[in-house]
Amino acid sequence: MDEGALTNRRERRMDVLDDREIIELLFARDQRALEELTKDCRARALKTAREITGSAEDAEECFDDALLRVWERIPPERPASVKFYLFSIARNLALDRFREKKRSKRGGGAECLPLEELSEVLGDVRDVEGAIEEKLFTEALDRFLDGLKPRSRAVFLRRYFYMEETKEISSALGLSETHVFQILSRTRAKLKKFLRQEGYSI
Amino acid sequence: MTGEQFSKLLSGIDERKLSEAENYTESRKFRGKRAVIALAAAALALLIAGGTVFTAFRVGASYDLLQNAEVGPARAAAPITDFPAVPDASGDLISPMRAGFYIGAIFEGKIEEICDSRYLWKNAPCTVLRVKVLDVLYGKGLPETLNVCCDRCPPDAFEGYDRFIFSLRQIGIENFALIEEGTGEIRYFDGMFEPFGAIGSQVASVFAFKNGIFDPAFFEKAAIERNVFTANDWKSYWEFVMDHEDAYSVFLPVGRDTTIENAKARIKEHLESADGVPTEPVVLTKNDFFDGKADLWTEVAPENGVFTHDLLSYGDGTSRVAYERRVNGFPSCEKIYIDSSGTVTKSETHYTEEDLAHVPDIAPLIERFDGRTASSPSAKAVEGHAELVSWRADGRYFKIDGKVSAVILYMWYYRFGDPSNRWCEVGLDRLYVYYDVDGRAEAITAEELENRTGVYMMPAGGFTAFLSPTDDFGPINEPATPAPTPDDDPDTVKETEEIEETTAPGL
């Protein structure tokens, strides 16, 4: 093998390891993988988890738990994007914690505006239960999102996946906040109509 | 259904959509401000009878841009900044060229000029600053002034500050090319730097001081990003960090009301600790570097491509600067390396002018493959065993059998497992379709590609057994099967209502 091939194997970007490199470290049980993930994903995940749980402490715990799960699951799992994988776990843990808070007698007052907005629209849509139904629902969501214009899709996902405030979205996309509200409102209505067509209403 | 259940199910969608949502923001976020800047420019132009404000784009940032850009001879346009020889910290008179690449440089600086021109970097606007170096905290041989390219930063964010602490790396010795939007001309810069977290704290790379006091509001205005964080993320992140210093194990060079002198002292103290600067700077000082650079110049003629560069480090602590040629806007495997001693090494797949005269256009091939997913041999082979999650077609140029050839990287992402239980594994399959100069297509594995080119590519995720070299992928000119679009799909929601775009209040 020539020198070029060898150097291709050895090359490392200075600032950030990519997903493949981090997964390689995880398979080698090298804890530097966790340091890299923390360096790269912590702030983003903490922010979203904090928006959901309303608590910096809860957000920290969700992120730490997510990191532990990544360590436990990889190997054998090999996600396409370990950073997204970590972010999704942390986010889902935060959603679980939010639900626990809502159910807990002591946890009254748990609020997350984006989730409230969704609940208002989806209240009469039946729950999705089981892995197969979840998979089918996710596929339907993909189709729904495919049908949106890129701007509407970006606004929708920033609000309901990343849990960003409308002010943040308006600033990031160069739109007025009123415009963001309009897009969200119309997209929620379309979502409801779409889910009805897909047979998800009661 | 509750909001939290719905939001949780969103995690299962194609993650490319999430990435696209962020990219959409990156490419469009300054649209409103650009419009306002354009209006202001028009008004200014009326006032000064003929003034011109334009936006520029960085070469190599976008295939489309490259296609539309009027690419001239490498030295056709004069750099807007002409660096004279300057004394370095030791008093020796050196050219900033001779100072070479810096991977990390930290200094107190003062902005001498905010360039009027606007540029695009990776499809996002950027501002170019001319910065005077006042006090070097890390690095040696820095010129007295240098250029700093800040992506996604509006120019007015830097106004009103008397001092900055910059943590930078150099991204161009010369021939750092940008394209002006108004004229389409490429302009070349000498000694270009960009923000880079060399301080070791990984929390920021530019700190602004007003009347000598640190101002965290700068992060919101400047939107200096680290990885994927947006301006708003930065602001909230920074405020959170300052309010919860104990929650992080990172080094914080500044806090609320920190003076610039205190910040510099904290940085110097940190640099002397074991956790200080993560990497030694690459400083090329040997005279033979110039010979190498002159040789490199002959390779950088942009008629057939533009070199992009990367900074590379190795397990033994050494670093190199690598230039990779882009052909028709796509990466190729040809690389030229310059190490810290100034030695220039070319990859064995060195291209000649004759090679470049017969380069196939890779873009239509990629489009064509994007429409072939449903009938791919891998999809059929794994039917019943795995779920196809997503696919992507990409392209790259290699030198194979002495000729520059197009290779399509056709990637499928699969999820394996038991759907009644849980999907337990995500796999990646790659197919390399090699087109020779006569237009014949052939499916090859990563191993075959490496054997033919000497270039290592990430191997497929264990599914190469599904590929067959005898699969018929058709001749190069076969019409593509178009991918289904939302308009073709009756189940897909169509957006028919267009909301008039409005400009953010106050702009």
| SS3 at position B125 | strand
**Number of continuous H segments (helices) and E segments (strands) in chain B:** 13, 21
Give the integer Cα–Cα distance in Å for B182 and B376: 44
Q: Provide the CB-side half-sphere exposure for A175 (13 A, CA).
A: 24
A residues 44-73 lying closer than 8 A (beta carbon) to B: 44, 46-47, 50, 56, 60
How many residues are recorded in chain A? 202
How far, CA to CA in Å, does B323 sit from each of B71, B442, B444, B498? 19, 29, 27, 44
pLDDT of residue B413: 56
- Assess: ipTM above 0.90: no
Give B13's contacts in chain A (Cβ within 8 Å).
138, 141-142, 145
B84 DSSP 8-state letter: P
Give the integer Cα–Cα distance in Å for A173 and B25: 5
| SS3 at position B127 | strand
Residues of chain B with confidence (pLDDT) below 70: 23-104, 120-125, 140-141, 171-190, 197-204, 223-241, 244-250, 274-323, 329, 338-343, 364-394, 409-447, 449-450, 453-507
Three-state secondary structure string covering B466-482:
HCCCCCCCCCCCCCCCC
The enclosing H or E element of B365 equals helix B363-370
Give the integer Cα–Cα distance in Å for A1 and A22: 25
Give A101's contacts in chain B (Cβ within 8 Å).
none
**Beta bridge pairs of residue B167:** B106
B residues 30-59 lying closer than 8 A (beta carbon) to A: 30-33
Interface test with B, best of A1, A2, A3, A7 (most B CBs within 10 A): A7
pLDDT of residue B265: 93
| SS3 at position B148 | strand
pLDDT digits 0-9 by tens, B46-105: 332 222 221 222 222 222 222 222 222 222 222 222 333 334 444 444 433 333 456 668
Residue B366: exposure state from Cβ atoms within 10 A (0-12, 13-18, ≥19): buried
CA geometry: angle B302, B308, B311, nearest 5 deg: 150
How far, CA to CA in Å, does B229 sit from each of B116, B293, B336? 26, 36, 32
Give A16's contacts in chain B (Cβ within 8 Å).
227
Q: How far apart are the first and last CA of chain A?
A: 63
Give B505's contacts in chain A (Cβ within 8 Å).
176-177
pLDDT of residue B439: 58
pLDDT digits 0-9 by tens, B192-244: 788 876 665 555 688 899 999 998 888 777 766 543 344 455 666 666 667 76
Selecting from A138, A153, A183 the residue whose C-beta is nearest the C-beta of B499 gives: A183
Closest CA to B407 of B353, B371, B457, B357: B457
pLDDT of residue B164: 95
**Beta bridge pairs of residue B163:** B209
Closest CA to B191 of B98, B302, B104, B121: B98
- In order, the DSSP letters of B25-83 are HHHHTTHHHHHHHHHHHHHHHHHHTS----BEEETTS-HHHHHHS----TTSSPPS--P
pLDDT of residue B170: 73
**One-letter amino acid identity for B30?**
F
Q: Provide the CB-side half-sphere exposure for B157 (13 A, CA).
A: 27
Q: Within its chain, how far is the Cα of A90 from the centroid?
A: 8
Give B201's contacts in chain A (Cβ within 8 Å).
none
Taking CB atoms and an 8 Å limit, are B6 and A114 in contact across chains?
no
Selecting from A4, A15, A197 the residue whose C-beta is nearest the C-beta of B347 gives: A4
Give the integer Cα–Cα distance in Å for B306 and B324: 8
- pLDDT tens across the length of chain A (202 residues): 222 322 233 233 334 577 788 888 888 888 888 888 888 888 888 888 888 888 888 888 888 888 888 888 887 777 878 888 888 889 888 888 888 777 764 444 567 888 888 887 787 777 777 777 777 888 888 888 888 888 888 899 988 888 888 888 888 887 777 778 878 888 888 888 888 777 776 5
Two tokens at B54? 């334009």
Taking CB atoms and an 8 Å limit, are B7 and A114 in contact across chains?
yes
Taking CB atoms and an 8 Å limit, are B11 and A186 in contact across chains?
no
Give B345's contacts in chain A (Cβ within 8 Å).
3
Place of tokens 């289904």: B484
pLDDT of residue A166: 83
